Amino acid sequence: MVFNSLTFIAFFACVLALHSLPLPWTTRKINLLIASYVFYMAWNPPFVILLWISTVVDWYAAQGLVKAQRQRARHAWMLLSVVANLGMLGYFKYGQFLLDNFSALMASLGVVYQPPHADIVLPVGISFYTFATLSYTLDVYLRRAKPARNFLDYALFVTFFPHLVAGPIMRPTELVPQFAQPRRASADQLRFGLALMTLGLFNKVVLADSFLANVAEKIYDVDKIPGALDAWTATLAFSGQIFCDFAGYSTTAIGAAMCLGFAMPDNFRFPYAAVGFSDFWRRWHITLSSWLRDYLYIPLGGNRHGERRTYAALMATMLLGGLWHGANWTFVVWGGLHGLYLAAERVLRTRFRGYRPGPAAFVALGLLTYLLVNLTWVFFRAKTFGKAWSVLGGMLGQHAAAKPILAMFSLISVAAIVAGIVATHWLMRERTLESVVTRTPAVALSVVWALMAFAIVIAQGEGSAFIYFQF
């Protein structure tokens, strides 16, 4: 079930109605748990078994961690959680990838090995809920948090449908305490939640799907060699598409949770106005970057053991972060480029420690950041290195004789939409959506809301899945 479908609208209306009934709080939580399982099973019912396994294993692992008297026993419970979660993730997400690469390695050594095609189906959201449940047991192991008081609250934390399949990646300390007391949205929360859902769906259905996705596909999914204008337009289109698609999902999820009376953290803070790459990762997919920082970068040493160790931890974190996004070496290169950017930024900040850019230089550095981010998007979007080199060659002007591929309308629409996105991010760089809404007249808000809702309806989307569902 996808947010941008009539099925979800009917589903959410039923959930909202049930949650608003004067029922005992435990009954309403059970309703939410059942609804979350229905939401997930709408894709492929058997895969709910994996969700149950992850939930049960981590629940008992956390209980075992609390009761264990010896450090060896605590290690064993922690390893059980890590092996169970990463084992499922490794098999379903990376099984075929590992087989293919092992076969290629054997071939390079002169050994002919053709493993049978495993035909492994990737369960929707497995990367997200395994990270959420892992954070639960790791926090208990590190004594950062105590286990949930009852299984219902923990199970609902894992399966709560707004964040289940594509985040934000929730921590138990952020959501479990909210299940302790009865919650129902106030009138203001309901209005703002519905407005956020409308904004998120507008980003997805109207901007990402109707205007930007087709332009990227015409360059990245065909065999034609693009010229500079086509290559840059398609890459800029994808930069807008992936933001509108993923931020659209997160915004819709946060809005849906708010309509039910729950709060979830921001996942995007206008990232295309970032100045530098550490700033970018404080604004892009915030819950993933903070997860990688807390559970990977810092345990690897962080910045506490000298420069070499810091750079090694930084590169390892970004390479694994790239691999988390997909079982393809192009994602590893994408993560590696961001690792190099962050390392180079760290070197420059150390060398020019006292430098404070003026307004013009500040904006120029922000635009340079956005330009370099777009170069990494080529590897994120391209399915093969051949296509990535082809697009990069076009962007660098190496295909001067290439025939135009994109129509003038596509060029103009992408330029207008992407310029609008970047300008909006700069305008909102130091602001929050809540503060702007508070200061805007109700009539103007109502008009904008109605126009977005109207655009969603006339876009007549096909309910295409969000990009991050594949991760």
- Catalytic residue numbers read 325
Nearest-CA neighbor of 239 among 265, 271, 267?
271
Helix (H, G, I), strand (E, B) or coil at 274: coil
Instruction: Measure the CA angle with vertex 77, ends 76 and 79; round to 5°.
Output: 65
Nearest-CA neighbor of 65 among 73, 53, 56, 54?
73
Tell me 45's DSSP state: G
- The owner of tokens 């369960």 is 123
Distant-in-sequence, close-in-space partners of 429: CB < 8 Å, separation ≥ 6: 270, 273
Residues 254, 162 contacting (CB under 8 angstroms): yes
Token pair, residue 431, equals 């602001």
Give the integer Cα–Cα distance in Å for 207 and 249. Answer: 13
Token pair, residue 295, equals 């559970």
Q: Which residues of 411-447 are buried (b: 16+ CB within 10 A; e: fewer)?
A: bebbeebbeebbeebbeebeeebeeeeeeeeeeeeee
Tell me 449's DSSP state: H
Helix (H, G, I), strand (E, B) or coil at 313: helix
Nearest-CA neighbor of 241 among 7, 426, 453, 410?
410
Helix (H, G, I), strand (E, B) or coil at 169: coil
Sign (positive or negative) of CA dihedral 9, 15, 17, 20: negative
Q: How many CB atoms lie within 10 A of CB 6?
A: 8
Residues 252, 168 contacting (CB under 8 angstroms): no
* Through-space distance between the first and last CA atoms of the chain, rounded to whole angstroms: 16
Which CB contacts under 8 angstroms, 24+ apart, belong to 33-38? Answer: 33/152, 33/155, 33/156, 33/159, 35/11, 35/161, 36/156, 36/159, 36/160, 36/161, 36/164, 37/159, 38/11
**Is residue 17 packed enough to be buried (19+ CB in 10 Å), middle (13-18) or exposed (0-12)?**
exposed
